[in-house]
A = this chain, B = another copy of it.
Amino acid sequence: MAPTTENPAKSLRLACRAGTHNGPTPGLAPGYGQANLVVVPREHAFHFLLFCQRNPKPCPVLEVTDPGDPEPRLTAPGADLRTDLPRYRIWRDGRVAEETTSLLGHWPEDAVAFLLGCSFSFEAALLAAGLPVRHIEQGRNVPMYRTTIPCQPAGPFAGPLVVSMRPMTPAQAIQAALICNRFPQSHGAPIHWGDPAALGIPDIHRPDEGDPVEIRPGEVPVFWACGVTPQAAATHAKLPWMATHSPGHMFVTDMREGG
């Protein structure tokens, strides 16, 4: 029998490439860092990187590829960002024009890809500490909300902060803050807990992306800056073309999660 030494992150990427996995990635390949994807033509790469530099909580940069190169040489050598995510969004003039399972045939010659840290990366640490991660418990995608907090703009990129939410008791939220603070590349500590209206969220049971999750008696919603924020900025930037992952359908890297 052939040895099966392959890492689970690579297996998952190859399943995406082969088209046999096209669902959300929370809880998959545990212990391997997951990443948000943003792809823009070279002429917009400076301003997008500047947007990330000015908004490091939602947009912690893990890797930026050289123009035209679809291989993330640092975080997953040998992978192909055009095929190795389960699901993509193609944006035209600020709107999702298409959802697709591959960017082959859609990749501009001078495309620059950005991989941004993802909150899924700290969920293993939360679970290990005995803290609840409700959307994993419930087998759902994490709920995400557009807030009324503006990001610092950069060139054409601007828009509201997007947050992810996990319900916890106040005591659990304190523990989670201490744990997540050790993961600055994965959005770090939460930015808020309690009243959703303070962030301009009208209805906690109706997320803008992902699925609603149960909030139990004694729990409050806890909010983290979210890597879907660039998708709100895409709406504002109205570039003729850009691409992102589909929310919850992340790129799984070879980076082992520490903390």
Closest B residue to A112 by CB, please name it.
B46
A49 at the interface (CB under 8 A from B): yes
Contact-residue bracket for chain A = 10 to 19
Inter-chain pairs besides A49-B50, A53-B53, A53-B64, 7 sampled, C-beta below 8 Å: A42-B46, A46-B49, A46-B112, A49-B53, A50-B64, A53-B61, A66-B154
**In whole angstroms, how far apart are the Cα atoms of A61 and B56 in the complex?**
11
A14 at the interface (CB under 8 A from B): no
The list of the 8 closest CB pairs from A to B, nearest first, reads: A46-B46, A45-B46, A49-B49, A53-B61, A50-B64, A53-B64, A46-B49, A49-B50
Tell me the A58-101 residues at the B interface (CB within 8 Å). Answer: 61, 64, 66
Chain B contacts for A54, CB-based, 8 A:
64
Complex interface bits, A206-245 against B, C-beta within 8 A gives 1, otherwise 0 = 0000000000000000000000000000000000000000
**In whole angstroms, how far apart are the Cα atoms of A54 and B75 in the complex?**
12
**In whole angstroms, how far apart are the Cα atoms of A61 and B112 in the complex?**
20
**In whole angstroms, how far apart are the Cα atoms of A53 and B114 in the complex?**
11
Chain B contacts for A66, CB-based, 8 A:
154
What's the nearest-Cβ distance from chain B to residue A41, in Å?
11
**In whole angstroms, how far apart are the Cα atoms of A66 and B54 in the complex?**
12
Chain B contacts for A50, CB-based, 8 A:
49, 64
Chain B contacts for A154, CB-based, 8 A:
66
**In whole angstroms, how far apart are the Cα atoms of A112 and B155 in the complex?**
13
Complex interface bits, A164-203 against B, C-beta within 8 A gives 1, otherwise 0 = 0000000000000000000000000000000000000000
